[in-house]
Amino acid sequence: MAKSLRSKWKRKMRAKKRERYSVKELAKLKEMLAAAAGSKNDSEMSDMCTVVDTKQATERAVESDEPSGTQADDQMGTMDIDKPVRKYDPKTLRDEHGTYPVWMSQRAIKKLKAQHGRKSRKSTHKGVKKNRKRKSSH
């Protein structure tokens, strides 16, 4: 395929834009490198926090567990449940109150209702015949 004038123009403008922004980007990169080299943010770990051996850590853990042992048992024994779990009927997907799950969209609910309605209507009208008016032969 031949190159259109539009694509040539776009390519030309992008090249100019790259040249223009490359100067700014280079200046930014140099500034960042200078800031990283000259900064004194690289401090030792001991300045920020206390360094502890494994022995000291286990001793602290044992000490903290002993006095609050009874509280920990109470918390571990019973758990507060936010909401009771709703039981949904697998066939209709409705719970005991007749509501559909939260995750189900209205479109899906309408579709499900239509399917169940169709099935129930078919089963009720199975043996019933309607009296229809017949066309007269006159």
Express each pLDDT in 74-108 by its tens digit.
Answer: 556 666 777 778 888 888 889 988 899 999 999 99
8 Å CB contact between 79 and 60: no
Per-domain residue ranges for the chain? 1-31, 87-122
Taking the model in full, what pTM does it have? Answer: 0.29
Express each pLDDT in 20-30 by its tens digit.
Answer: 999 999 999 99
113-121: long-range pairs with CB below 8 Å, 24+: 116/92
Express each pLDDT in 56-67 by its tens digit.
Answer: 878 887 777 665
